[in-house]
Amino acid sequence: MTPRKVLIKEFIGDLPKNIFSGFVVSLIALPLGLGLAMASEAPPIAGVITAIVGGLLVSFFGGSHITITGPGNGLVGVLLVAITTLGIEGAYAAIIFSGVLLMILGFLRLGKLANFFPSSAIQGMLAAIGLIILGKQFHIMLAHKIKREDTMDYLIEIPFTINDAIHYDSKGLIFAAIVGTVSLFIMFFYPKIRNKYFQLVPAPMWIVLLSIGLSYYFELVLHENNPIDKNYMISGIPHIDEIITKIPKIDFSQWATLDFWDSVVSLTLIASIESLLSIKAVDKLDPKKRRSNVNKDLKALGLATVGSGFLGGLNVVTVIARSSVNVNNGGSNRSSNFFHALFMLLFIVLFSSEMARIPLPALMAILVFTGYKLASPDTIKKVFSIGKEQFIIFFVTLIITLKVGLISGILSGVAMTLIIHIVINKNLSLFTRNLIKPNVLMYKEESGNGSFFVSVKHFCSFLNYYKLKDKLDAIPEDRDVVLDFSMCEFVDHTVMDNISSYQELFAKKGGNFEIIGLDMHDAESKHPFALRRLLTDSGLIGSNLTKRQRDLIQTSDRFGLEYHAEKNREISFLYDFHYFNTKQVNYIYNRLSNDNNSLNLFDVEYFEGELIAKEVIRSTMLHISLNDEIPSFTLDKEGFLERVYSLAGLKDIDLKDYPDFSKRFYLKGDDEEGITNFFGKDLIQFFESNNYYHVQADGAHLLIFNKERLATIKEMKILLDFGKRLKEVIETKTHTTSQTERNTEL
Amino acid sequence: MNYFNTIGIGIAFSPTLKANLYEASRLALFFKSKLVLIHVGIHSHRKEKDIQKILSPFIEKNLDFEIVFKVGDPAEVILNVIQEKRLDLIILGALKRENILKYYVGSIARKITRNASCSVLLLIKPSVERVPCQHVVINGLKDEKATKTISYGFFVGSKLGASKVTVVEEITQQEVAVNVNDDRSLRRANIVKERISIREKSRVIKILEETPEEFKKNIKIKTQPIFGRRGYSIGHFAEVVRADLLVTNAPDKLTFLDRLFPHDIEHILTELPTDVLIIR
């Protein structure tokens, strides 16, 4: 079979799963679509149109695999502003324009744009959006519709609304408030109920089904009118014929006004950020480990937005919650997005009259819950745990977004981050001088299995993260990557956050992604994503352990070793080795040792040269104490020895019996006879069949290492294993020789 | 064969005078070349005496040297002497940024670097004691001067007793010309990169074959393709592998725009990774 045929067969095989998954997603998308549209003060059907147009178009033209598209949470705030200032017809025009802008972004390959915003600022913006949704809908949920100028006022008035709700005397309002409250409870407690059958229907659909059921109960069983107040019933759901025949009028007359463009830019900004964040997050969930084509997706989203705007829908974005439901229900390719749209269309055609039975408070409860999720106390706690400075950025963005608007909010978040970075580093020139420098170097290490080495210089923050991202994106995820920050003075939270998702991605796809050179950076908090600044010189290693250090703790547990992170200046034992004759050891740190201290694996910082010619080197080495004396020797390959010029006095030893070995390795030492005797068959075989390391022996101790840089966890494990086995080989050997010696004496 | 028959160094009576003179004299002896010491200022016997006193250990070893005194704008004077004396190499010292271990080229040295007609050696840390030169990194960038750069690099490496030379080919994104969007384009980009790497490697190996054997003796040769910005990334690489000398070729012409939008050599001038030899 040709590859194409295989693909088609696979596609058809996966179809039932995707149809089912599309169905489940449509169950959530329907109430959410209605609710999100109403929260934006658009006709409720607009949300459904958005999902249908988005699903149908993006599933054909998009570049991602398992995402679901439709109306987004983040856009509610912006759409609300657009619709109130421009009117719904003007807003459609703004939506169409923003769709065009999105397409342009896609064509210009600006998918990386989202990386220019600091993580905490984005968090703050999302939290603000959450509060906007929550603040406004909370009142409707409790059947207490109010209209205020300022978003803050909605939030402040929540207690008053609760108080009013308790004292309602109209039956219609009481019922409405009860339905809203019960619905909110369902949203909150749904995830806690682990019943297979109950979980078959998603929470929002339960709410819809229950409230429609309630309405039928009153009508058919009690023969009464629906007790819920008429004002709090969903209204304006047109029949499918009306949707087709009555395409809304679009008003382009305001195109020259500032308000119009403010809306267009905000819509584009939020739509692209929400989509890009979602795509990135969903890619991590993909069971088939595919990489989304972000720019192609942007183009498709733009196209869908234009179409949706003309048909009376809203902006089409990629949505994370619905996408993850899609993955959980077995969606494996774009057809699930298509079917989700198809089912929504079916619902509208078949059940549009039933939808009028849904009470507003029930829908709003779903939105209040989404809003709460965006601005939950957990999010705030998490930001705070990363660092006080992140909290300041988060809070500033949040307040300004609420008070002024989205664009001002995110811009002030960026400005705040910049100021904080400058203050923390007490250095402006670090940023100005190095901003445009191409500070990332990547190459494939020729030795070993060809892992990719990426070194970052100067600083790495949201300002220049895209340079690092470009390089990292060009590495297949099933390879080994070493990311070295030792030449980087400052790494910010945005970078740490993003890097950690790379680590996850590489781990999932069979690669290995390790960060080195961060152990010397100080952090303000204990969070792994806290920003880090290079310490010039202080005795203490910060209280915050890096990922590498925490991995070291795990490794030490697995190997039955003890871990000591702190700097240790008892380093005299190192000077016994020739290698350190011309070097000055500063300290060792990140030490792993066994019970009787006969085995020590550590990072060491030492200097080569003196004064102005001084160079700082950090390396990882293994020190082993042996039970018996062995002759001193140095074993090496690759002319590494030439670096160690102080060895000049030592003799080159040629093992006559093992010409191959002598050709491959440089063996040096004083005691030629002793060494020749010592290097027996077993030992030669061991060295020939294992990884290459630089090995030095000084009597009863061995020092083993191979690179003049810090080793990754993987490399350390291999080094440990090598050392242990070498020790065994040597000890069985010396043991047997001493026995034979004893035998001859007898 | 000797590429550097005459080498020059500008001297001022600063605290680093001794270190500068020692470095220059050592190099002159290594290269077996004549050393021209250029002092911008009025001639005096006292100055000449002082210099000779510092140079005495090298004079014992038959150092061939000449001291030139001239008054005027320092950069102009040195550039003129380069022409007059037909220098093959001019040695310049770098400056250190306050309290951090970063070096850059001062304005005078920068002017000379841009306009000199001969090769330029920029030293970041001249010292009285010899710091051995172990590892030389050479820019193997593809252009008509690559052969020259590489053979000069090996010449210097062999004279200074280096044990390892790495020839670096910088591969830019433009050359790869595949934008990584998804898995397919990533695979394609990696295939292209692999192909370019192999092509570049065989090109460098061919040049290496032309390099005189005597310069390659006892030197371990490596080639390394790197992906990054031309001219800048090689400096970064030299820093990562802790090279002792970076040999690169000079750009053809530097216009005003080049300074405004720094690239190639200009990046290295603002941020010297190690000693740099610019071949002309």
At A639, the amino acid letter reads G
Decide: residue B56, CB within 10 A, 0-12 exposed, 13-18 middle, 19+ buried.
exposed
Q: What is the mean pLDDT of residues B210-236?
A: 77
- Facing A443 at nearest CB: one of B131, B187, B224: B224
The model's confidence at residue A522, banded by pLDDT at 50, 70 and 90, is low
Task: Indicate yes or no: CB of A643 within 8 angstroms of CB of B232.
Answer: no
Check if A648 contacts B (Cβ < 8 Å): no
**Residue extents of the structural domains in chain A:** 3-375, 439-558, 570-584+611-745
Q: What is the mean pLDDT of residues B206-215?
A: 79
Rounded alpha-carbon distances, angstroms, from residue B24 to A604, B36, B126, B138, B158? 35, 9, 9, 21, 17
Q: Based on the domain organization, do B125 and B137 belong to the same domain?
A: no
What phi and psi, each to the nearest 5 degrees, are found at residue B133? -100, 110
Reported as a single tens digit per residue, the pLDDT across A177-233 is 888 888 888 888 887 776 667 777 778 888 888 888 888 888 888 777 777 777 777
CB A544 within 8 A of CB A386: no
Region of A448 on the Ramachandran plot (φ > 0 left; ψ -120 to 50 alpha; else beta): left
Query: B100-130 b/e with 16+ CB inside 10 Å = b?
Result: eebbbbeebbbbbbbebebbbbbbbbbbeee
- Facing B182 at nearest CB: one of A292, A609, A645: A292
Q: List, in order, residues 6 or more apart from A378 with CB less than 8 Å away.
A: none
Q: Based on the domain organization, do B1 and B118 belong to the same domain?
A: yes
Task: Please report the residues numbered 133 through 162 in chain B whose beta carbons come closer than 8 angstroms to any beta carbon of chain A.
Answer: 134
Q: What is the mean pLDDT of residues A336-350?
A: 90
Least confident of A381-390, A402-411, B88-97, B185-194: B88-97
What phi and psi, each to the nearest 5 degrees, are found at residue A321? -65, -50
What does the pLDDT read at residue A611? Answer: 43
Residues of A in contact with B228 (CB under 8 A): 438, 440-442
d(CA A574, CA A512): 31
Task: Indicate yes or no: CB of B220 within 8 angstroms of CB of A291.
Answer: no
In a domain, B267, yes or no: no
The model's confidence at residue A540, banded by pLDDT at 50, 70 and 90, is very low
Residues of A in contact with B128 (CB under 8 A): none
- In percent, the amount of chain A with pLDDT more than 70 equals 89
Q: Which residue has the higher pLDDT, A309 or A679?
A: A309
At A1, the amino acid letter reads M
The model's confidence at residue A649, banded by pLDDT at 50, 70 and 90, is low
d(CA A141, CA A114): 34
Residue with tokens 């002793």: A674
Reported as a single tens digit per residue, the pLDDT across A551-573 is 888 888 888 888 887 777 777 77
Q: Which residue has the higher pLDDT, A231 or A306?
A: A306
As its CATH architecture, domain A439-558 has 2-Layer Sandwich (3.30)
Task: Please report the residues numbered 102 through 121 in chain A whose beta carbons come closer than 8 angstroms to any beta carbon of chain B.
Answer: 109
Rounded alpha-carbon distances, angstroms, from residue A680 to A614, A721, A737, A740? 41, 21, 10, 14
Reported as a single tens digit per residue, the pLDDT across A19-76 is 888 887 888 788 888 888 888 888 888 898 999 999 999 998 988 888 899 998 878 8
Residue from A642, A646, A707, A710 to probe the interface with B (highest B Cβ count within 10 Å) = A642
What does the pLDDT read at residue A2? Answer: 64
Region of A341 on the Ramachandran plot (φ > 0 left; ψ -120 to 50 alpha; else beta): alpha
What does the pLDDT read at residue A493? Answer: 85
Count contacts between A and B (CB, < 8 Å).
85
d(CA A159, CA A181): 15
What phi and psi, each to the nearest 5 degrees, are found at residue A680? -90, -175
Give the distance from residue B195's alpha carbon to the nearest chain A alpha carbon, in angstroms: 14
A369 in helix, strand or coil?
Answer: helix
The model's confidence at residue A643, banded by pLDDT at 50, 70 and 90, is very low
The model's confidence at residue A744, banded by pLDDT at 50, 70 and 90, is very low
DSSP state of B168: E
A399: nearest Cα among A645, A169, A173, A127: A127
d(CA A349, CA A553): 60
What does the pLDDT read at residue A371? Answer: 81
Residue from A280, A334, A441 to probe the interface with B (highest B Cβ count within 10 Å) = A441
Reported as a single tens digit per residue, the pLDDT across A452-494 is 888 888 888 888 888 888 888 888 878 888 888 888 888 888 8
Q: Based on the domain organization, do B157 and B235 belong to the same domain?
A: yes
A442 to chain B: closest CA residue: B227
What does the pLDDT read at residue A496? Answer: 84
Q: Based on the domain organization, do B158 and B123 belong to the same domain?
A: no
**What Rg do the C-alpha atoms of chain A give, in angstroms?**
33
What does the pLDDT read at residue A537? Answer: 39
Residues of A in contact with B226 (CB under 8 A): 441-443
What does the pLDDT read at residue A613? Answer: 44
Average pLDDT value for chain A: 80
Q: List, in order, residues 6 or more apart from A540 with CB less than 8 Å away.
A: A566, A567
Residue from B227, B261, B263 to probe the interface with A (highest A Cβ count within 10 Å) = B227
What does the pLDDT read at residue A536? Answer: 43
In a domain, B8, yes or no: yes
Return the CATH number at B30: 3.40.50.620
DSSP state of A93: H
Task: Indicate yes or no: CB of B237 within 8 angstroms of CB of A615.
Answer: no
Check if A303 contacts B (Cβ < 8 Å): no
A476 to chain B: closest CA residue: B186
Average pLDDT value for chain B: 78
CB A261 within 8 A of CB A67: no
Tokens of A446: 């020729």
Task: Indicate yes or no: CB of A438 within 8 angstroms of CB of B224.
Answer: no
B170 in helix, strand or coil?
Answer: strand
B125: nearest Cα among B149, B153, B93, B156: B93
Tokens of A470: 């470009």
Could you write out the three-class secondary structure of A272-288? HHHHHHHHHHHHCCCCC
Reported as a single tens digit per residue, the pLDDT across A78-95 is 888 889 888 888 899 999
What phi and psi, each to the nearest 5 degrees, are found at residue A450? 70, 50
Q: List, in order, residues 6 or more apart from B183 with CB less than 8 Å away.
A: A290, A291
- In percent, the amount of chain B with pLDDT more than 70 equals 86
Q: Based on the domain organization, do B190 and B114 belong to the same domain?
A: no
Check if A560 contacts B (Cβ < 8 Å): no
What does the pLDDT read at residue A396? Answer: 92
CB A373 within 8 A of CB A131: no
The model's confidence at residue B260, banded by pLDDT at 50, 70 and 90, is very low
Task: Indicate yes or no: CB of A474 within 8 angstroms of CB of B232.
Answer: no
CB B280 within 8 A of CB B265: no
d(CA A268, CA A106): 12
- Facing B227 at nearest CB: one of A439, A442, A476: A442
What phi and psi, each to the nearest 5 degrees, are found at residue A311? -90, 5
Give the distance from residue A646's alpha carbon to the nearest chain B alpha carbon, in angstroms: 12
Reported as a single tens digit per residue, the pLDDT across B113-137 is 777 788 888 887 777 777 777 788 8
d(CA A604, CA A621): 7
**pLDDT above 60 for A745:** no
- Facing A438 at nearest CB: one of B127, B163, B228: B228
Residue ending a domain, among B107, B130, B153, is B130
Q: Based on the domain organization, do B90 and B141 belong to the same domain?
A: no
Tokens of B86: 């037909």
At B59, the amino acid letter reads I
Alpha helices (H) in chain B, listed in sequence order: 17-31, 45-59, 74-84, 107-115, 146-159, 173-176, 183-210, 213-216, 233-240, 256-260, 264-270
CB A708 within 8 A of CB A619: yes
* Interface pTM, i.e. ipTM: 0.80
Q: Which residue has the higher pLDDT, A320 or A18?
A: A18
d(CA A96, CA A98): 5
Q: What is the mean pLDDT of residues A716-734?
A: 83
Measured over the CA atoms of residue B71, residue B75, residue B81 and residue B83, the dihedral's sign is negative
Least confident of A11-25, A129-143, A440-454, A539-553: A539-553
Q: Based on the domain organization, do B186 and B165 belong to the same domain?
A: yes
The model's confidence at residue A541, banded by pLDDT at 50, 70 and 90, is very low
Region of B209 on the Ramachandran plot (φ > 0 left; ψ -120 to 50 alpha; else beta): alpha
Q: Which residue has the higher pLDDT, A243 or B113?
A: B113
Check if B98 contacts A (Cβ < 8 Å): no
Q: What is the mean pLDDT of residues A720-741?
A: 72
User: Strand pairing partners for B247?
Assistant: B138, B277
What does the pLDDT read at residue B262? Answer: 46
Task: Indicate yes or no: CB of B227 within 8 angstroms of CB of A476.
Answer: no
In a domain, B255, yes or no: no
Residue B149, domain extent: 132-247
**pLDDT above 50 for A512:** yes
User: Strand pairing partners for B35?
Assistant: B7, B65
B164: nearest Cα among B238, B219, B242, B240: B219
Task: Indicate yes or no: CB of A612 within 8 angstroms of CB of B125.
Answer: yes
At B145, the amino acid letter reads K
Total domain count for chain B? 2
Residue ending a domain, among B89, B108, B130, is B130
CB A126 within 8 A of CB A73: no
The model's confidence at residue A644, banded by pLDDT at 50, 70 and 90, is very low
The model's confidence at residue A340, banded by pLDDT at 50, 70 and 90, is very high
Decide: residue A58, CB within 10 A, 0-12 exposed, 13-18 middle, 19+ buried.
buried
CB A97 within 8 A of CB A392: no
In a domain, B149, yes or no: yes
**pLDDT above 60 for A647:** no
The model's confidence at residue A533, banded by pLDDT at 50, 70 and 90, is low
Helix H or strand E segment including A346:
helix A335-351
Task: Indicate yes or no: CB of B183 within 8 angstroms of CB of A290.
Answer: yes
DSSP state of A462: T
Tokens of A585: 């050891």
Give the distance from residue B43's alpha carbon to the nearest chain A alpha carbon, in angstroms: 32
Tokens of A519: 């152990």
The model's confidence at residue B176, banded by pLDDT at 50, 70 and 90, is low
Tokens of A391: 């909290």
Task: Indicate yes or no: CB of B240 within 8 angstroms of CB of A453.
Answer: yes
The model's confidence at residue A642, banded by pLDDT at 50, 70 and 90, is very low
End-to-end CA distance of chain B: 17
A711 in helix, strand or coil?
Answer: coil
Reported as a single tens digit per residue, the pLDDT across B7-48 is 888 887 777 778 888 888 888 888 888 888 888 888 888 888
**pLDDT above 70 for A645:** no
A63 to chain B: closest CA residue: B182
d(CA A379, CA B198): 50
A567 in helix, strand or coil?
Answer: coil
Task: Please report the residues numbered 104 through 133 in chain B whose beta carbons come closer than 8 angstroms to any beta carbon of chain A.
Answer: 125, 127, 129, 131-132
What phi and psi, each to the nearest 5 degrees, are found at residue A585? -85, 130
User: Strand pairing partners for A443?
Assistant: A453, B226
Reported as a single tens digit per residue, the pLDDT across A162-173 is 888 888 777 778
CB A688 within 8 A of CB A706: no
Model pTM above 0.90: no
Rounded alpha-carbon distances, angstroms, from residue A517 to A299, A547, B35, B103? 39, 11, 43, 22
DSSP state of A248: P
- In percent, the amount of chain B with pLDDT more than 90 equals 0
